[in-house]
Homo-oligomer: A and B are copies of this chain.
């Protein structure tokens, strides 16, 4: 069975396994105070061009959104998100479980619009009854979005400007950030993200790690953040589990012939950068194959997730040979499905898919 279902179906990049093996018996203190977390922090600061940043490692995306937003929001505040935002729809109410409302705005290809955000914030403060309402206390964006789209630098700058003018933190969910940074045509770099956001995370789980997300606070973490992480059940005893992985992901993609070359480097030169670039190459081939077979794209995504609309019969035939994700029912007779590439996708997987599609779409 071919697997294009998602980007977390395999284990992890082999260099991470090597790093685990290499460091396995080194004795280190717990709770993120180990030397691997320190090394990972230094590497990430360099890749983000954010030398003062606090970096904290957590195990998963929903956990990260929950812990970080709960720490950023005051008790009377909620977080503003697009109506399709992961926090609004697919986290089983993890934000509300901490007492905070998700305040939704319309989505445009999965994105928030800075003008609409400003209008919303202005209307809130102008409302004579706003003391009876949930205060907007942070803004959530995902990049890439849940449908694989990307903010342009100008869009991200506009959102950041709105937030800063009102002293509301901008938080970016980078579950697939590696794929966004490597996308063709994007003008957003990791240092841009660090410059424009008040908090964000660099996703590991979906970009080659066994697990883990690196939360970055460019200007420093919220007060007593370790305790807040602990009280959410999110503090890992063996912090090295995450430190080792992110230290490796942010090491140079190319090691020196002498095994050296472990210096700090820019985001695009890291293993993380290389994994993103690989998945995007595979996505471009995938896209070409899907287009060649006449598939209708559900929307235009420049990243590793590709959405196509199939008639229900073709869809059913396809799913017998290829694992893809059901996305949504488009109409009585058609279904949107998602194909995802990842660091683990091989050229031969795309070729095999090409063959299957020929068979399946012939009808």
Q: Which residues 196-230 in A have Cβ within 8 Å of B in the complex?
A: 205-206, 210-211, 223-224, 226-228, 230
**Which of A12, A236, A244 counts the most B-chain CB atoms under 10 A from its CB?**
A236
Minimum CB–CB distance for A126 against chain B, Å: 8
Take A20-B210, A23-B11, A96-B96 as given contacts and tell me if A235 and B133 are in contact as well, using a CB distance cutoff of 8 Å. Answer: no
Take A76-B92, A92-B133, A93-B134 as given contacts and tell me if A233 and B231 are in contact as well, using a CB distance cutoff of 8 Å. Answer: no
A17-57 near B? 1/0 per residue, CB < 8 Å: 10011011111111000000000000000000000000000
Establish whether residues B94 and A232, one from each chain, have CB atoms under 8 Å apart when the complex forms. Answer: yes
Q: Quick check: is A191 within 8 A (CB to CB) of the other chain? A: no
Q: Quick check: is A160 within 8 A (CB to CB) of the other chain? A: no
Q: How far is the CA of A54 from the CA of B64 in the complex (A)?
A: 27
Take A9-B27, A23-B11, A93-B78 as given contacts and tell me if A131 and B234 are in contact as well, using a CB distance cutoff of 8 Å. Answer: no
Which of A97-105, A180-188, A274-282 lies at the interface with chain B? A97-105
Establish whether residues A11 and B20, one from each chain, have CB atoms under 8 Å apart when the complex forms. Answer: yes
Contact among B5, B96, B235 with A78 in the assembled complex (CB-CB below 8 Å): B96
Establish whether residues A238 and B226, one from each chain, have CB atoms under 8 Å apart when the complex forms. Answer: no
Contact among B9, B71, B226, B234 with A63 in the assembled complex (CB-CB below 8 Å): B234
Q: Indicate how many identical chains form the complex.
A: 4
Establish whether residues A14 and B9, one from each chain, have CB atoms under 8 Å apart when the complex forms. Answer: no
Give A242's nearest chain B residue, CB to CB. Answer: B211
Establish whether residues A97 and B232, one from each chain, have CB atoms under 8 Å apart when the complex forms. Answer: yes
Contact among B3, B128, B233, B240 with A60 in the assembled complex (CB-CB below 8 Å): B233
Minimum CB–CB distance for A34 against chain B, Å: 9
Q: Quick check: is A344 within 8 A (CB to CB) of the other chain? A: yes
Task: List the 5 shortest-distance A-B pairs measured between CB atoms, nearest first.
Answer: A63-B233, A11-B24, A3-B27, A92-B230, A92-B231
Give A63's nearest chain B residue, CB to CB. Answer: B233
Give A21's nearest chain B residue, CB to CB. Answer: B17
Q: How far is the CA of A25 from the CA of B61 in the complex (A)?
A: 22
A244: B residues at CB distance < 8 A: 11
Q: Which residues 227-264 in A have Cβ within 8 Å of B in the complex?
A: 227-228, 230-238, 240-241, 244
